[in-house]
């Protein structure tokens, strides 16, 4: 019981700190140029970023939410950074997380390279489209779309089901030709399960949409990848989660380059965020071994919803 109390305190602290930050955020310097001397010491914002992303990393792990889906909504909603730079940083943050998890997931054969490659081709190509679109459209349009998407993600997180080992009666022609199937070992029973997928082309079509969204908003797309792989295409949950994480490394690579080449990467923002989230995730995993409070997921989804409303308000201008 006291563990739940501690976690709720962490969550409330996050809420509180973000509200304080949004106070800073209202000093919008969008019309000021380099003539205006910085009102804060140069290191204040990076340190704040480090702290907030650290909490974000912990919350992401405890709340069962991807770090990549928290970054852009929360940072763009409550901080004075322009959405262009937030998305650039967000992609790199999500990418780094996926790159860190990749080797382990591949070596343990939890992530399926065969499943990932065709999907990645679609997702990464359309992530490029999304990124270019996202940088070409006026900011308030992207902001509004981002807000709506975030609210949709919240709904998805609240309602989505999971299927440990979906029933796939027969592999469809495409996945048979591509030989996308595998064997995985259920940890608790030691039972070895053959898996295959179906509805491959429907899945690939959905990945077009997922790719565009990932590129346009700089969000890690795990919240979308897993349901498509697991519920639509029928891959076991374990395989879907791992392949999804691995997939992110490819999708976000293509989008990140577009943002980088457009100049949307500012090291002073990216590096503290990256380090913060990774450190937070590391701590989160250790905390998870001690207790998993159900409260954190609600708090996190609540924060996301709040960020979505903020983005909508920014985009629609009220």
Partner 1 sequence: MPSEIKVKDIMIPLSNYAVASTGDTLSEAVPLLRKIYCSTEHGKCTESGHRSIIVLDDDGNLVGIVNFAAILAALIPEIAGGILARFESLGISMAYAQADSLELDEARLGFRARVKKNAEIKIGSIMLKIKGSIDSEATVLDALKLIYRNKINILPVYESGRLVGVVRDSDLFLVVAEILGE
Partner 2 sequence: MTQQTRKSVEAGPEQILYATFLERGMLLGLGLLIVTFLIYVSGIVKPYVPVTEIQNYWSLSVSQYLHKANVHPGWGWVHLVGYADFLNFIGIALLAGITILCFLAIIPTLWRNNDRLYAILSLLEVIILSVAASGILGSGGH
> Does residue 114 interact with partner 2 by CB under 8 A?
yes
Q: Give the whole-angstrom CA distance, residue 204 versus residue 120.
A: 9
Based on CB atoms, which residue is closest to partner 1, 119 or 265?
A: 119
Based on CB atoms, which residue is closest to partner 1, 64 or 152?
A: 64
Looking only at residues 146 through 175 of this chain, which bind partner 1 when binding is defined by CB under 8 A? 162
Q: Cα dihedral sign for 4, 22, 49, 261?
A: positive
Looking only at residues 17 through 36 of this chain, which bind partner 1 when binding is defined by CB under 8 A? none
| Residue count, binding to partner 2 (CB under 8 A) | 78
By the 8 A CB rule, do 252 and 219 touch? no
CB atoms within 10 A of CB 74: 27
> Does residue 210 interact with partner 1 by CB under 8 A?
no
> Does residue 198 interact with partner 1 by CB under 8 A?
no
- Return the closest-CA partner of residue 213 out of 228, 234, 198, 235: 228
The minimum distance between CB 121 and partner 2, in angstroms, equals 6
Q: Give the whole-angstrom CA distance, residue 143 versus residue 139.
A: 6
Looking only at residues 171 through 200 of this chain, which bind partner 2 when binding is defined by CB under 8 A? 178-179, 181-185, 192, 194
> Does residue 125 interact with partner 2 by CB under 8 A?
yes
Which of 53, 124, 144, 225 lies at the binding interface for partner 2 (CB under 8 A)?
A: 124
Which of 196, 297, 310, 314 lies at the binding interface for partner 1 (CB under 8 A)?
A: 297
> Does residue 97 interact with partner 1 by CB under 8 A?
yes
């Amino acid at each position: 019981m006291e563990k739940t109390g501690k976690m709720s305190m962490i969550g409330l602290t996050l809420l509180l700190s973000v509200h304080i930050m949004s106070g800073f955020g209202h000093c919008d310097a969008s019309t000021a140029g380099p003539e205006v001397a910085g009102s804060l010491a140069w290191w204040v914002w990076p340190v704040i970023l480090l702290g907030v992303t650290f909490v974000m990393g912990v919350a992401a792990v405890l709340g069962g939410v991807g770090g990549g889906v928290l970054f852009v909504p929360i940072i763009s909603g409550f901080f004075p950074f322009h959405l262009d730079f937030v998305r650039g940083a967000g992609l790199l943050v999500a990418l780094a997380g996926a790159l860190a998890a990749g080797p382990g997931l591949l070596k343990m054969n939890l992530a399926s390279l065969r499943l990932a490659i065709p999907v990645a081709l679609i997702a990464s190509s359309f992530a490029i489209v999304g990124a270019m679109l996202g940088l070409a459209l006026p900011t308030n349009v992207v902001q509004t779309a981002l807000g709506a998407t975030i609210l949709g993600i919240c709904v998805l997180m609240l309602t989505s089901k999971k299927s440990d080992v979906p029933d796939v009666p027969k592999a469809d022609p495409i996945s048979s030709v591509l030989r996308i199937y595998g064997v995985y070992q259920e940890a608790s029973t030691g039972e070895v399960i053959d898996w295959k997928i179906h509805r491959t082309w429907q899945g690939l079509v959905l990945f077009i949409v997922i790719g565009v969204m990932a590129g346009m908003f700089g969000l890690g797309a795990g919240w979308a990848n897993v349901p498509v792989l697991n519920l639509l295409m029928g891959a076991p949950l374990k395989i879907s989660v791992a392949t999804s994480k691995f997939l992110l490394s490819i999708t976000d690579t293509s989008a990140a380059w577009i943002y980088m080449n457009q100049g949307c990467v500012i090291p002073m923002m990216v590096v503290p965020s990256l380090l913060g989230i990774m450190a937070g995730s590391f701590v989160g995993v250790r905390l998870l071994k001690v207790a998993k409070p159900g409260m954190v997921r609600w708090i996190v989804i609540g924060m996301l919803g709040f960020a979505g409303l903020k983005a909508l308000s920014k985009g629609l201008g009220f």
